[in-house]
Chains A and B, each alone.
Chain A
Amino acid sequence: MAAETLKPHFFYILLALAEGDRHGLAIARDAQALSGGSVRLWPATLYGSLDELRARKWIEELPEHPEDESERKRYYRLTRTGRAALNDEADRLARLARLARARTRLGDVR
């Protein structure tokens, strides 16, 4: 598989978008909530990341905006490749979690 390690803020952005289309501000709020407050995306980091993810074609900007929101906001959607990348990262984290559990259990025994 050899998936590259995803930057944490990329992971949380993708994770937020996995639930549905969102604008930047909502992504930042979601990321903070999902990480239990530990991941705070600052403006330049957030929008810089969004630009980069867009360049990687992992997310795309919605051509039209949902009617209930103000026109200025840009909405983003997870692409198929993006979803795959998120899955890869989730698998990697799961393996890592299993490994960690195994090790700590060994530690407990000792």
Chain B
Amino acid sequence: VNGLYRALLALAPPRLRRDHAADMEALFTERLAAARTNGRAAAAGVWLRAAADLLHARAQSWRAERVPLTVYIDERTTIMVGSDLRYAWRALLRQRSASVLVVFMLALGIAANVAVFTLVNGLFLRPFPFPHPDRLAYINTAAPKWNLDVVGINYPDFDRWTKDQKLFDALMTYQGGAFTLSDGAGAVRVRGEYITREFTKVLGVEPILGRTFTAEEDRPKGPPVTILSAALWRDRFGGDRNIVGRAVRIDGAARTVVGVMPPEAAFPGDVQLWVPMAGDPAQAGESYGGDAIGRMKPGVTIEQADADLKRVHQPIWDASDKDHVVTPFVKPLHETFVADYRSAAKTITGAVALLLLVACANVAAMMLARALARRREMGIRLALGSSRMRLLRQLLIENLLLAAAGSAIGLVAGRAAVGALITLIPDQFPRWAVFAIDVRVVAFAVLSVLMTVVLFGWAPALHAVGGDLRSAVGSTTNGTTGAPRGRRTLWFLVAGEFALSAVLLVCSLLLVKAFDRVRHTDPGFRSDHILLTTIPLSEETRPKADQWLGFWNDLEPRARQLPGVDAAGVITCAPLDGCHLGNFFIAENALPRPDGKNPVVLTRMATAGYFQAMGLRLREGRFLADGDIASRALTRDDITNGRVPLVIVVNESFVRTFWGEHANGVGRRVKFNWTPWMTVVGVVADVKHYGLERPMRPGVYLPNNFNPQSTMTLALHTKVEPSSVTASLRELVHQIDPEIPLVRPRTMETLIEQSTALRAAFSWMLAVFASLAFVLAIGGAYGVATYLVTQRTREIGIRVALGARTADVFRSVVSSGVAVVAGGVALGLAGSVLVARQLGTALFGVSTHDASVLVPVTVVLVGTALLANGLPARRAARIDPMKSLRTDG
């Protein structure tokens, strides 16, 4: 019973406990027994009262003992920690520059870690801002036989899945779109989404105003409605709370606002308004497009969900797709949206871990050097009766002080670095990713610091104090160099630093080289003085294809007349713009495909002017000409009856893929499976359509009237700064129709820059890390060399006194250091070839043992190591023997 009270007695002043423990316990037992007869509450009261009594006594004793007659164990501990702190502070101040260096290096490693961990955390670890984000699954279809990873969602299929599935709470499909929102003041183009009505249920979001779509609204010919984003509601409608029920004009037609959504509902990002998908389940053979998301029931795994979806897809396969061309699949949602950044983030994280290792090795080396240099001090203190524990504790406190300062500075610096890194690549990160320094980041940093301190700070301390007393005191008094074990550890650390720095330097230089190569890739078109703008026509006001064709045929020559414009052309799908329209072609006399797969061909409709404006290079034949493009849109009849001669321009990849490496293209014939043969009239050089570092597919250009589009991209080649033409172009379009907006007027240079921004940031960051590691390694080598020379002052003095020449001394000091560094660098170079292999495609074809990278790295590392060792060596060689022999340490 009274074990507890005995434990409570720890609260009492020690003297009271020592003198009266048994009596106090007896009294308490009596009180407790008496109270028990009055019930549990009374007994509990006794416990409380007794605890209060003990605490009160403790407080009293503190107050009373301002002048302690006896030193108690507890108080002594307190006093000694205080004195340790003071002592540590003085010790650190004594070696001020060394202490600052250690703090600086720790801070550096921590800042880099915090920054990168925050980015990685924001992208990969932090869940989506939806309830139970782990239950969200991405759904789409793939067509392995067509060589397509993602086909899109076909609405009738989606409808069947929704009705028959058993393992999801709800499914949604969405497709991004751009909408023209017009009112009396003018028109704006906003990004939006076609969406099915259960999206709020899937994402777990609630409208902040009004409601979501009803089943009635989400069907063909349902009432025209829309939901606004909070941002659009605020910016465009002044946050009017009576917006629900009001009509707004979208794409020239009135739609009633039924609700307003919170910001997090904008998934996958930048959605300003939603309109119902209004899909028709009866419309078989509709197009494939968009994506789907499902909320899995609790406890359902991705594999189970995937199997469920394939089960409900079976009737569709049986009915219309016996070859299983299109297969639905389920993936974790998060995985789908972060795939792009994963490899980059992995590399950066690895690089930062290496940098932290270098920083730690450096700190360890400095700590060890300090500890070795203080062996004598420690030895004397031991001899005077100080306990080993006490010395270890004091060293630990010193290291903790350094670590605390280092981590505080590192956290602040890391925070600043996160901000800098994010602004560096503003458009490249998905909008839902939130980059905030959270508790985990701080915990991670603090943990790494503590590990560093305990592992690297204490090990040297044990080393220094662990030896026997006599050698500790003696080693430094009799003038020998002493502590060979410590010296070996020091050199081992320095070699490690150089090895890691070599790995970082090689990898980052390889990536910088790869970046340079990407940037200087020939895009296949003129990249300067090009302005692109997408122009969408409202299919409400212009329902017919002929009207669209008429608009483009009218716009192009007028745009060419604008001041400062050299050439103008229109295309469905401009390069580096993230757009793709793929088709299958049949080529006459095509070579058999080695893999048996029919490749997807990038299909574009363009005007004759486009080829001039973009400066595409002709390889064979001719470009499309004005004569190829009739003034009216071709109907399906025109095409299938062969009433008009059909011509086409293909790219080099097309010729190579279908007819072989050195084949001619002009005069050969190709067709869609539903058309007659079309004659190839020209072959153009490949254009880097998907990005400078992505491979190009076979591609074709068809005349603009083949299948006119309501939304096209206008390309202008300008004599002046391209963005300066935007205003006059906008005026021109406004003259034709004031309701037509210009979408994202952008220069080709911007597009190229954006397409390489991630790689630029990535290479740049790695280069910075590598430079930091390099600086740390040099600092470490210099510090260790200096320390060792200082330790050998007396020995060198004796040598000089005995007639050693300056050069001999210099050589003996330098050679050992350089040998160690050379070993480290060699190890690092071997390692870097292995590590660089992991970079894979990020190297963009740069060889992992590229001599133009490896040679300079070796030369620079060994050269600077020579310098770092040479400076202290030179000092050593100039030692005045008389002076050095008089020093006693």
- Residues of A with Cβ closer than 8 Å to B? 23-25, 28, 40-48, 50-51, 72-74
CB of A44 within 8 A of CB of B12, answer yes
Indicate if B540 sits at the interface (CB-CB under 8 A).
Answer: no
Picked from A40, A41, A44, the residue with its CB within 8 Å of the CB of B16 is: A44
Picked from B22, B26, B30, B56, the residue with its CB within 8 Å of the CB of A44 is: B56
Q: Mark B1-27, 1 if CB is under 8 A from A, else 0.
A: 000000000001101100110111111
Additional A-B contact list (17), CB under 8 Å, known A25-B26, A43-B28: A24-B23, A25-B27, A25-B30, A40-B31, A41-B27, A42-B49, A43-B20, A43-B25, A43-B54, A44-B12, A45-B57, A46-B24, A46-B27, A47-B24, A48-B13, A48-B16, A72-B22
Picked from B20, B49, B50, the residue with its CB within 8 Å of the CB of A24 is: B20
Give complex CA distance A24, B27 in Å.
8
Picked from B23, B31, B49, B56, the residue with its CB within 8 Å of the CB of A74 is: B23
Picked from A25, A40, A42, the residue with its CB within 8 Å of the CB of B23 is: A25
CB of B57 within 8 A of CB of A48, answer yes
Closest-by-CB residue of A relative to B5 is: A43
- Residues of B with Cβ closer than 8 Å to A? 12-13, 15-16, 19-20, 22-28, 30-31, 49-50, 53-54, 56-57, 60-61
Give complex CA distance A44, B53 in Å.
6
Q: Write out the residue numbers on chain A whose beta carbons fall within 8 Å of the beta carbon of B22.
A: 72
Q: Write out the residue numbers on chain B whose beta carbons fall within 8 Å of the beta carbon of A44.
A: 12-13, 16, 24, 53-54, 56-57
What is the distance, in angstroms, from A32's C-beta to the closest C-beta of chain B? 10
Q: Write out the residue numbers on chain A whose beta carbons fall within 8 Å of the beta carbon of B50.
A: 42-43
What is the distance, in angstroms, from A55's C-beta to the closest C-beta of chain B? 10
CB of B16 within 8 A of CB of A47, answer yes
Name 23 A/B residue pairs within 8 A (Cβ), A-sorted: A24-B20, A24-B27, A25-B27, A28-B30, A41-B27, A42-B27, A42-B31, A42-B49, A42-B53, A43-B23, A43-B24, A43-B28, A43-B54, A44-B12, A44-B13, A44-B24, A44-B53, A44-B54, A46-B24, A47-B23, A47-B24, A51-B16, A74-B23
What is the distance, in angstroms, from A104's C-beta to the closest C-beta of chain B? 33
Give complex CA distance A5, B53 in Å.
22
Give complex CA distance A50, B30 in Å.
19
Give complex CA distance A74, B16 in Å.
14
CB of A23 within 8 A of CB of B57, answer no
What is the distance, in angstroms, from B35's C-beta to the closest C-beta of chain A? 11
Closest 5 CB pairs of A and B: A43-B24, A44-B57, A42-B53, A47-B20, A44-B53
Picked from A25, A42, A47, A73, the residue with its CB within 8 Å of the CB of B19 is: A47
Q: Write out the residue numbers on chain B whose beta carbons fall within 8 Å of the beta carbon of A41.
A: 27
Q: Write out the residue numbers on chain A whose beta carbons fall within 8 Å of the beta carbon of B53.
A: 42-45
Q: Write out the residue numbers on chain B whose beta carbons fall within 8 Å of the beta carbon of A51.
A: 15-16, 19
Give complex CA distance A74, B21 in Å.
12
B interface majority secondary structure: helix
Q: Write out the residue numbers on chain B whose beta carbons fall within 8 Å of the beta carbon of A24.
A: 20, 23, 27
Closest-by-CB residue of B relative to A43 is: B24
Give complex CA distance A74, B807 in Å.
84
What is the distance, in angstroms, from A9's C-beta to the closest C-beta of chain B? 11
Give complex CA distance A74, B18 in Å.
14
What is the distance, in angstroms, from B164's C-beta to the closest C-beta of chain A? 74
What is the distance, in angstroms, from A73's C-beta to the closest C-beta of chain B? 7
Q: Write out the residue numbers on chain A whose beta carbons fall within 8 Å of the beta carbon of B61.
A: 48
Closest-by-CB residue of B relative to A44 is: B57
What is the distance, in angstroms, from B283's C-beta to the closest C-beta of chain A? 87
Give complex CA distance A24, B25 in Å.
11
What is the distance, in angstroms, from A21's C-beta to the closest C-beta of chain B? 15
Closest-by-CB residue of A relative to B27 is: A43
Closest-by-CB residue of A relative to B46 is: A42
Q: Write out the residue numbers on chain A whose beta carbons fall within 8 Å of the beta carbon of B16.
A: 44, 47-48, 51
CB of A48 within 8 A of CB of B60, answer yes
Q: Write out the residue numbers on chain A whose beta carbons fall within 8 Å of the beta carbon of B30.
A: 25, 28
Give complex CA distance A74, B50 in Å.
21
Give complex CA distance A28, B31 in Å.
10
What is the distance, in angstroms, from A38's C-beta to the closest C-beta of chain B? 14
Closest-by-CB residue of A relative to B30 is: A25
Closest-by-CB residue of A relative to B15 is: A51
Q: Write out the residue numbers on chain A whose beta carbons fall within 8 Å of the beta carbon of B27.
A: 24-25, 28, 41-43, 46
Closest-by-CB residue of B relative to A49 is: B57
Q: Write out the residue numbers on chain B whose beta carbons fall within 8 Å of the beta carbon of A28.
A: 27, 30
Give complex CA distance A85, B790 in Å.
73
Give complex CA distance A44, B55 in Å.
9
Q: Write out the residue numbers on chain B whose beta carbons fall within 8 Å of the beta carbon of A74.
A: 23
Closest-by-CB residue of A relative to B11 is: A44
Closest-by-CB residue of B relative to A27 is: B27
Give complex CA distance A50, B16 in Å.
10
What is the distance, in angstroms, from B26's C-beta to the closest C-beta of chain A? 6
Give complex CA distance A86, B775 in Å.
80
Give complex CA distance A48, B23 in Å.
12
Give complex CA distance A46, B27 in Å.
10
Q: Write out the residue numbers on chain A whose beta carbons fall within 8 Å of the beta carbon of B28.
A: 43
What is the distance, in angstroms, from B165's C-beta to the closest C-beta of chain A? 70
Closest-by-CB residue of B relative to A24 is: B23
Give complex CA distance A24, B26 in Å.
10
What is the distance, in angstroms, from B14's C-beta to the closest C-beta of chain A? 12
What is the distance, in angstroms, from B31's C-beta to the closest C-beta of chain A? 8
What is the distance, in angstroms, from B449's C-beta to the closest C-beta of chain A? 42
Give complex CA distance A34, B30 in Å.
18
Q: Write out the residue numbers on chain B whose beta carbons fall within 8 Å of the beta carbon of A23.
A: 23
Q: Write out the residue numbers on chain B whose beta carbons fall within 8 Å of the beta carbon of A40.
A: 31
Closest-by-CB residue of B relative to A72 is: B22
Q: Write out the residue numbers on chain A whose beta carbons fall within 8 Å of the beta carbon of B23.
A: 23-25, 43, 47, 72-74
Give complex CA distance A45, B28 in Å.
12
Q: Write out the residue numbers on chain A whose beta carbons fall within 8 Å of the beta carbon of B13.
A: 44, 48
Closest-by-CB residue of A relative to B20 is: A47
Give complex CA distance A43, B19 in Å.
12
What is the distance, in angstroms, from A23's C-beta to the closest C-beta of chain B? 7
Give complex CA distance A45, B24 in Å.
10
